[in-house]
Structure 1
Amino acid sequence: MDDDFRRAALDYHRLPRPGKLTIEPTKRMASQRDLALAYSPGVAAACEEIAADPDKAWDYTTRGNMVAVITNGTAVLGLGNIGPLASKPVMEGKAVLFKRFAGIDSIDIEVDALDPDRFVEVVAALEPSFGAINLEDIKAPECFEIERRLRERMNIPVFHDDQHGTAIIVAAAIRNGLLVQGKRLEDVKLVNTGGGAAALACLDLLVEMGLRRENVTVCDVEGVVYSGRPGLDPTKARYAQETNARTLPEVLDGADIFLGLSAPRVLKGEWLSKLGPRPLVLALANPEPEILPEAVRAARPDAIVATGRTDYPNQVNNVLCFPFIFRGALDAGATTINEAMKVAAVEAIAALARVEASEVVAAAYGGTAPVFGPEYIIPKPFDPRLILEIAPAVAKAAMDSGVARRPIQDFVAYKADLSRFVYRSGNLMRPVQELAKSKPARIVFSEGEDERTLRAVQTVLDEGTALPILIGRAAVVAEKVKALGLRMAIGSSVTVLHPEEHTELFQPLVSLYQEKVGRRGITPEAAARRVSNRPAVAASLLLEAGRADAAIIGGRSDWMREWEHVLAIVGKRADVSRAYALSAVIIQGATLFFVDTHLLIDPTAEQLAEMTLLAAEEMGRFGITPKVALLSHSSFGASGAPSARKMREALKLIRAAAPGLEVDGEMHGDAAIVPAIRAKAVRDPKLEGMANLLVFPNIDAANIAFNLVKAVSDGLQVGPMLLGMNKPIHVLVPSVTARGIANLAAVAGSEVRRG
């Protein structure tokens, strides 16, 4: 690394506080009662339950979600035997990855013990504290013996990631690489350089999956591993071949796979001609591989290349698997991570690469999505769907192989629960998604040629929440679907319509549009042009004419302009005075709803009451009980200003219309969020706990508060959702993501189902 990068790395680890980990309480500790429950005497109840049934520790403590990352620092990254203390930054980093990717709490433990016997005794004694052990950066051959003995002694998973994590990712890459090259694992010849812990674990797993042991040749620093070689390490002996070859070039003839887990530049470009047709070259030494990919491409353009580096395609990275393997193992209460669980992880990872890349992955590629093929045979490490595929596969394999103490009863519900690690909106959206799935509605998307829309539609199809209709040119849509690697079937699962390509359908809609806007200065000719040129108009007309059940409009242009088209065509409900906009922001531990954030500049008391009742109704679709706070610069009558009086009048109207709704005001913003502040301001507050629906005196306050909360909390926006419309229709903001589009489609679908 250069000096600038080194300084940046040191600052990263030092500032704003040393290290990469902290511990945060999961329970409130704000009162004497809280302390009594957390510690003495309340803690005794949990202790007694666990004493009577040790498995209760999973219910009453963090053990079921706690992994120890343990090393003695004898083989750290490319640094070698630097000792346990110097290895701590690496172990902290591993612990952070557990939390970041799979929500697993993790503590790093650096053990000052070079002697395997002492190391085993120290680690084995920690079993009551953890749900699993991740061994890390322990040198071979001691790592084999240490892991074997710990697995024999401990009744929780013990997993040496340097061995098995590498093996799983390598096996997934080979599984897909052979698929692209048209070969079978049972038939190929493999040459390995390295022969260390990771290499042997890779070979063992590949043999478990069908690779013939007699087709494997291993080379280490002393040359070919052959039968009868003096001083041969017993761990390598099982791969010793009956051969007269003694050097790497001699064993490359006809090899289908080169698997390098050794050192830089050990594979020479001039030797590549010896490999068989369409070979796989996995050059995984870091930071410099056994051979650079450009050298392979120059000599063997028919080869597929993988490395351990981020700056080349097909990066083999352990972070692709270890957090999710532990997630599945912990959730199933597995006593070990066995071969069946590892193979399940391999197949899940390989399968994920064969479907289209996610929006997150596409963004990392500068907006161009990788498609399964020679330069994309394994998923990217930051693909958020990894947990949804690997963890359930591992948990099921644990159950099928008989090592699960807490079998998962409902895998559909389990996968839905895991979605909170993928999409922060997962828990919030689940009720509306289930409602939308009960009978998928025909939803028209105005921007059918937009990549975000197409990704969202693929998600909608996968989740079964809608029957999509796209406004767009069929050829353009088909080309983009192919380029993005999407799986939707144009003409069957997805309908594509365009006014210029489907004139018989849209010609009557031009007349309908003229009826709607003819008295607004729009001539018949201008109406026809708008239907052809403005997708929002075309989509809204399909909805209004009953050709669709709901509509998702916009996302590429000014929100207010798109809204004006929607209002002119679809209009508001007859029983409300106007339409409003409701926005939600998901923050840590809560979801807050804000109304009206987009439409009404200065609502009257009557309009405030109306928007509050409509927003409360919409929140019911999410399965959330509204707790309404009417906000002001004044608290409970402290001001006679017009805006404060307006909020008090709105409160009276709301209580008269909905006596069962939990609502109070007017109040300061902090009083809405913190019950203790509210209690000091008024003796008998009518609102319990934290408010979740915030109603503002005007659009400035609502929009400013919404965006401030979103920015400060790194919150996730859902909406805006239109309230009071005649039919289910929503307008997208330009910053919306594909997931955001899919979310609003589910909201629209749930509105169709409930009417």
Structure 2
Amino acid sequence: MTSEEDAILRLHQAHTGMLDIKTDFDIEDRADLQKAYTPGVAVLSRMIAEKPELKDKFTVSGKLVALITDGTAVLGLGNVGPAAGLPVIEGKALLYKDLANINAIPLAVDQVSPKEIIKTIKNISLSFAGIHLEDIAAPRCFEIENALSEELDIPVYHDDQEGSAIVVLAGLINAAKVVGKKLTDLRVVINGVGASGLATARLLYAAGIKHLTLVDVHGVITSEDYRANDYQRLFAAKLGTPQRMENQNIHDAIKGQDAFIGLSTGNVINRHDVKQMNEQPIIFALANPHQEIAPEKAKEAGAAVIATGSSQYPNQVNNILAFPGLFKGLLASGLKKVDMDLQKAVAQALASVVAEPTAENIVPSVFDERVVPTVAKAVVDYASQSK
């Protein structure tokens, strides 16, 4: 164990995690006790029994987000199980509170069928103002989010899908400006078409980028590729990906592309691949802990703009830029759905934080204090325009 790992363990063990429950009211005498607890709360219970929607006004349910994982797809680790997924969502709960003053509680669920997870979340949903899904593998995550979004009257958000897609689009908006190309003219190849990759492809398509090629572990995905899941095949059909491309690997598919979006694993492309792209190539090598290509190698091969998921390099594409401000806006506005138009609006607002993008500055820093209020305002503005 390294000294850094030891320090991390000591920190988390000292506090038994990173979260505590804090009170908003001090009980100092019997009168306080009667107001905060029995018999005073009977007043609230009677009111809420008659009008259940009042719970959001008079109880913590109106400001509490559920952070839920089954640990089937933890970034960089894979399927580590529900208990091992808890540190990730606990960390995100900390970020919610620290960056946006949002109360979020981490919850781990067993790796049961999607239908059981859907039922479990529905059964506890009255306690929450929103649902944040995290680290749930594809394709089960698609079924779970779709069902919950349709059946619950609170916002449902999957950070690996919507969060990743929003920040990638924001970065690509500014990267296109840097290389002097029109966003909607870009030819984009996406390597890694799990939850993040497919959601990103959908959002880029909705933003007007129609020249998209999807590549997964078996190669280019087409509508008739039996190795792909239904969600991947349906989107490939929408793109009109020719069947003849099915056996092409990433080294074939990257030729003549303007942008490479990597949401996969380390070291899958090389210098030669970058040189096969169009002039002024854009490389988003977002895999962690090892990028699809080392930024130094991509730059040597002629990449004009390079982004990673790491804080070690410029242009860190990180979901922290999306979810705290997004939920702050959702709770403030009462908006119930995180639809495609909202995602586009948030991505555009996030991109606008960087007034004059450069090759090494296409997305704001995760510590930029303008990010959360800008994203939250975009959500509130979208909600008001949608009414």
Instruction: Please tell me the TM-score bracket, short chain as reference.
Output: over 0.9
Q: Secondary structure at the match of 1:166?
A: helix
Q: Secondary structure at the match of 2:361?
A: coil
CA distance in 1, matches of 2:44, 2:178: 54
Spell out, residue by residue over 1:177-223, the C-alpha distance to the aligned partner (whole angstroms, 9 max, x if none). 001111112211111111111001001111111111xx111111111
Q: Secondary structure at the match of 1:21?
A: coil
* Amino acid paired to 2:221: V
Deviation at 1:26, TM superposition (A): 0.2
Q: Which residue of 1 aligns with 2:94?
A: 96
Kept in 2, the 8 Å contact 1:253–1:275? The answer is yes
Deviation at 1:51, TM superposition (A): 2.7
CA distance in 1, matches of 2:76, 2:33: 47
CA distance in 2, matches of 1:7, 1:88: 19
Which structure has the bigger radius of gyration?
A: 1
Q: Secondary structure at the match of 2:65?
A: strand
Q: Which residue of 2 aligns with 1:396?
A: 381
Q: Which residue of 2 aligns with 1:242?
A: 242
Q: Which residue of 2 aligns with 1:259?
A: 261
Q: Secondary structure at the match of 2:202?
A: helix
CA distance in 2, matches of 1:149, 1:6: 39
Deviation at 1:153, TM superposition (A): 1.3
Q: Which residue of 1 aligns with 2:144?
A: 146
Q: Would you say 1:283 and 2:285 are equivalent positions?
A: yes
Kept in 2, the 8 Å contact 1:64–1:331? The answer is no
CA distance in 1, matches of 2:59, 2:228: 47
Picking from 141, 159, 178, the partner of 2:176 is: 178
Q: Which residue of 2 aligns with 1:78?
A: 76
CA distance in 2, matches of 1:206, 1:344: 13
Q: Secondary structure at the match of 1:282?
A: strand
CA distance in 1, matches of 2:220, 2:344: 28
Kept in 2, the 8 Å contact 1:216–1:239? The answer is no
Kept in 2, the 8 Å contact 1:283–1:307? The answer is yes
Deviation at 1:92, TM superposition (A): 1.0
Spell out, residue by residue over 1:151-196, the C-alpha distance to the aligned partner (whole angstroms, 9 max, x if none). 1111101101011100000000000100111111221111111111
CA distance in 2, matches of 1:286, 1:111: 25
Deviation at 1:227, TM superposition (A): 4.1
Q: Would you say 1:22 and 2:20 are equivalent positions?
A: yes
* Amino acid paired to 1:38: A
Q: Which residue of 1 aligns with 2:216?
A: 220
Kept in 1, the 8 Å contact 2:70–2:109? The answer is yes
CA distance in 2, matches of 1:95, 1:29: 27
* Amino acid paired to 1:271: D
CA distance in 1, matches of 2:59, 2:38: 16
Q: Which residue of 1 aligns with 2:64?
A: 66
CA distance in 1, matches of 2:223, 2:72: 29
Q: Secondary structure at the match of 2:68?
A: strand
Q: Would you say 1:353 and 2:350 are equivalent positions?
A: no
Query: For the aligned residues, what is the CA RMSD?
Result: 1.4
Q: Which residue of 2 aligns with 1:7?
A: 6
Q: Which residue of 1 aligns with 2:116?
A: 118
Change (3 A) 1:111 1:230: closer
1:710-749 aligned at under 5 Å gives the runs none
* Amino acid paired to 1:9: I
Identity %: 39
* Amino acid paired to 2:325: F
Q: Which residue of 2 aligns with 1:376?
A: 361
CA distance in 2, matches of 1:85, 1:293: 34
CA distance in 2, matches of 1:61, 1:87: 28
Q: Would you say 1:270 and 2:272 are equivalent positions?
A: yes
Q: Which residue of 2 aligns with 1:703?
A: none
Kept in 1, the 8 Å contact 2:321–2:372? The answer is no
When structure 1 is superposed on structure 2, of 45-54 and 266-275 the one drifting more is 45-54
* Amino acid paired to 1:259: I
Change (3 A) 1:26 1:281: same
Picking from 46, 49, 52, the partner of 2:50 is: 52
Kept in 1, the 8 Å contact 2:255–2:276? The answer is yes
* Amino acid paired to 1:225: I
CA distance in 2, matches of 1:159, 1:69: 10
Kept in 2, the 8 Å contact 1:64–1:333? The answer is no
Q: Which sections of structure 2, spanning at least 5 residues, go unmatched?
A: none
Deviation at 1:398, TM superposition (A): 2.3
Spell out, residue by residue over 1:492-524, the C-alpha distance to the aligned partner (whole angstroms, 9 max, x if none). xxxxxxxxxxxxxxxxxxxxxxxxxxxxxxxxx
Q: Which residue of 1 aligns with 2:194?
A: 196
Q: Which residue of 1 aligns with 2:314?
A: 313
Q: Which residue of 1 aligns with 2:340?
A: 339
* Amino acid paired to 1:262: S
* Amino acid paired to 1:266: V
CA distance in 2, matches of 1:110, 1:251: 38
Deviation at 1:243, TM superposition (A): 4.9
Kept in 2, the 8 Å contact 1:308–1:315? The answer is yes
CA distance in 2, matches of 1:227, 1:165: 26
Kept in 2, the 8 Å contact 1:341–1:395? The answer is no
Deviation at 1:77, TM superposition (A): 2.1
Deviation at 1:63, TM superposition (A): 1.8
Q: Which residue of 2 aligns with 1:323?
A: 324
Change (3 A) 1:101 1:304: same
Kept in 2, the 8 Å contact 1:227–1:243? The answer is yes
Q: Secondary structure at the match of 2:43?
A: helix
1:558-569 aligned at under 5 Å gives the runs none
CA distance in 2, matches of 1:120, 1:209: 30
Report how many aligned residue pairs link the two structures: 381
Kept in 2, the 8 Å contact 1:340–1:401? The answer is no
* Amino acid paired to 1:107: I
Deviation at 1:378, TM superposition (A): 0.2
1:507-526 aligned at under 5 Å gives the runs none
CA distance in 2, matches of 1:339, 1:328: 16
Give the TM-score, by structure 2 length. 0.95
CA distance in 2, matches of 1:296, 1:88: 35
Spell out, residue by residue over 1:227-274, the C-alpha distance to the aligned partner (whole angstroms, 9 max, x if none). 432333211112251053412222222211100111111011112111
Change (3 A) 1:230 1:337: closer
* Amino acid paired to 1:284: L
Kept in 1, the 8 Å contact 2:48–2:54? The answer is yes
Q: Would you say 1:233 and 2:224 are equivalent positions?
A: no
CA distance in 1, matches of 2:55, 2:105: 18
Q: Secondary structure at the match of 1:219?
A: strand
